[in-house]
Amino acid sequence: VTICKRVITIAALWPALCLLAGPVLAAKESGAKSEPAVSQATQTCLDCHVVATPGIVADWKKSRMASRTPEMGLKAPELERRITAKREDIPQDMRQVVVGCAECHTQRAKKHPGSFDHEGFRVHTVVSPQDCATCHPGERGEYSQNLMAHARGNLANNPVYMDLADHVNGVQKVSGGKVVYEKPTAMDQAESCFYCHGTEVKANGTRTVTNPDLGEVTVAKLSGWPNRGVGRKNPDGSLGSCTPCHTRHQFAIQAARNPATCAECHKGPDVPAYKVYKVSKHGNLFQALSKDWDLKALPWTVGKDFNAPSCAACHISLLVTADGAVLAKRTHRMNDRLWRRLIGLIYSHPHPKDPDTSKIKNADGMRLATTLDGKPASQYLIGEKEQASRRATMAKVCLGCHSDQWVDGQFQRLKASIKSADAMVRASTREMQEIWRAGLAVGPGKGSPFDEYIEQLWIEQWLFYANSVRLASAMIGADMGVFENGRWNMAKNVQQMRDWRKARQGRAK
């Protein structure tokens, strides 16, 4: 057992530590079947970190990864299997040990620019999807095709969206009656939009920080860190992060399946999915009954393990019926079950073909999937056939509990809600265009369309209200689509914009 040199203060605790570490070590040494082995390297990490960061060590010990080796995982029947790697693709020295500190934080160190020397190991802080892909290449492959893996670039590489972000996060300076927007700092962007979209984490050597117990500690010098955004760009060049949903270091599947996990990014007025879910019958039952459900079961049996879907059930999970038939295949490319984009845009449109949406250009040359008048940039979007196929995939999930009639009826409602929401965005955009034309605000071509008060009203029409209305219908939680940033607000907003214009045009209609 290596004793960390710095941890002088823990010397006194050594006997207690040994007691704690005892069973694990014993198991490792005897190779007892009931306690799978911990690698020597991971054990060395644990010896110090049980003192240095006791919370995450204890958290990890509760994880499935801490008590199962890849070899054990590979033996599970197909529907229960969590590992998508082939046996031969998992490094030999990893197969017979549990997945611990060293397996994730040192194994691919040479491929991580941010790696640094730490207590005799070459360690990297930022575990990337490429690391997880050692055992889970299927999920990693799917997720890389998921819009969310591209969430950072889809914002950072799109000048239209960045213009908006800059006018949300840039500090305004008022002097002499003028207001000037400053460029937002990297810190402010990281703590705002890119908290969820993901930062670009870059490694620049090492730096020293002061630990209250251990004194000076050498760590990697990382910019854009900490961050757990879904589209994070990692030092190894990979996109995305698995831990926003599969939270380190317990990686509990019941947490990934809990709507509160999705809520971390999908609750605000721009993406009120969680709020809609909560007032849907699905969310109602989740809150009222889920303490008696089995959120850990694999496969996940409709009606038996749970009686109303969480976000994961409809969008990601492998679902089976009580007789073992597959109702839906697991997918980490969530667009597999989504045919139309409802949020994060001006008008709703068919899903983009490519998860990198920064390439899209509309007929007016703007990097948007529709023009300001609502015309879709169809060459970038999936066609009717693909839409129908995805709709049918989602319908199968609905039909697990609902009749054909019911599902068909609700899908018609959704279509109608999308149409009305888009029409109300059109109304507000026409007002905005009239205002730009009249010179009452400075619009696209001449300045930012996102920096004046009247423009901010227009933004809320599509960024907040139309999203709520579409999601309220898609997820059947009407209470969040009427008076809570919904139809009421769409109606009022058009009137407010008109009122604003009339006041400035001498009330001449």
Site for a copy of itself in 193-222 (CB under 8 A): 193, 195-196, 209-213, 217, 219-220, 222
# of chain residues touching a copy of itself (CB under 8 A): 147
283 lies in the site for a copy of itself, by CB under 8 A: yes
Site for a copy of itself in 357-396 (CB under 8 A): 392, 395-396
Nearer to a copy of itself, 56 or 72 (CB): 56
- Considering only 74, 109, 255, 442, the residue that binds a copy of itself (CB under 8 A) is 255
According to CB under 8 A, which one of 43, 146, 261, 461 is a site residue for a copy of itself? 261
Residue 321, interface with a copy of itself (CB under 8 A)? yes
DSSP code string of 173-214? EEETTEEEEPPPPHHHHHTTHHHHH--B-EEEEEEEEEETTT
Q: How many residues does the chain have?
A: 509
Contacts of residue 221, Cβ cutoff 8 Å, sequence gap at least 6? 203, 204, 205, 206, 207
Nearer to a copy of itself, 144 or 417 (CB): 417
Q: Which of 10, 18, 2, 3 is nearest to 214 (CA)?
A: 10
Q: How near is the Cβ of 51 to a copy of itself at its closest, in Å? A: 7
Q: What DSSP state is assigned to residue 340? A: E
For a copy of itself, the binding residue among 98, 327, 334, 368 (CB under 8 A) is 327
Nearer to a copy of itself, 353 or 430 (CB): 430
Closest CA to 309 of 262, 257, 348: 257
Q: Establish if 103 lies at the interface with a copy of itself (CB under 8 A).
A: no
Cβ atoms of 208 and 216 within 8 Å: the answer is yes
Binding part of the chain for a copy of itself, among 24-32, 149-157, 276-284, 357-365 by CB under 8 A, reads 276-284
Q: Which stretch binds a copy of itself (CB under 8 A): 46-54, 93-101, 348-356, 377-385?
A: 46-54
Tell me whether residue 32 or residue 209 sits nearer to a copy of itself (CB atom).
209
Q: Indicate whether 336 belongs to the interface with a copy of itself (CB under 8 A).
A: no
Binders of a copy of itself in range 410-449 (CB under 8 A)? 410, 412-413, 416-417, 420, 423-424, 426-428, 430-431, 434
Confirm if 339 and 414 have CB atoms less than 8 A apart: no
Q: Is 162 in the site for a copy of itself (CB under 8 A)?
A: no
Judged by CB under 8 A, does residue 478 bind a copy of itself? Answer: yes
- Is 190 near a copy of itself (CB under 8 A)? yes
Sign of CA dihedral 479, 481, 487, 490: positive
212 to 52, 139, 250, 453: CA distances (angstroms)? 11, 40, 26, 47
Would you say 61 or 353 has its CB closer to a copy of itself? Answer: 61
Under rule CB under 8 A, residue 344 binds a copy of itself: no
Instruction: Tell me the C-alpha distance between 505 and 509, whole Å.
Output: 8
Q: How far is the CB of 137 from a copy of itself (least distance, A)?
A: 26
> Of the two residues 144 and 428, which places its CB atom closer to a copy of itself in the complex?
428
The whole-angstrom separation of Cα 47 and Cα 51 is: 8
Q: Give least dist CB 144 to a copy of itself, A.
A: 23
Q: H-type helices in 53-185, by residue range?
A: 54-61, 70-74, 92-95, 101-105, 129-132, 137-144, 151-156, 159-169
SS3 state of residue 128: coil
324: left (phi over 0), alpha (psi -120 to 50) or beta: left
Nearer to a copy of itself, 55 or 445 (CB): 55
- Is 11 a residue that touches a copy of itself (CB under 8 A)? no
Min. distance of Cβ 401 from a copy of itself in angstroms? Answer: 3
Q: Could you tell me if 465 and 257 are in contact, meaning their C-beta atoms sit under 8 angstroms apart?
A: no
Strand partners, 116: 123
Residue with tokens 């590489």: 157
Among 112, 167, 246, 333, binds a copy of itself (CB under 8 A): 167
Residues numbered 60 to 79 that lie near a copy of itself (CB under 8 A) are: 61-62
Q: How far is the CB of 359 from a copy of itself (least distance, A)?
A: 25
One-character DSSP codes across 448-505: -TTSSHHHHHHHHIIIIIHHHHHHHHHTT-GGGTTTTTSHHHHHHHHHHHHHHHHHHT
Residue 297 interacts with a copy of itself (CB under 8 A)? no
Position 317 contacts a copy of itself (CB under 8 A)? no
Q: Please, what is the minimum distance in Å from the beta carbon of residue 91 to a copy of itself? A: 25
- The answer to the question of residue 188 lying near a copy of itself (CB under 8 A) is yes
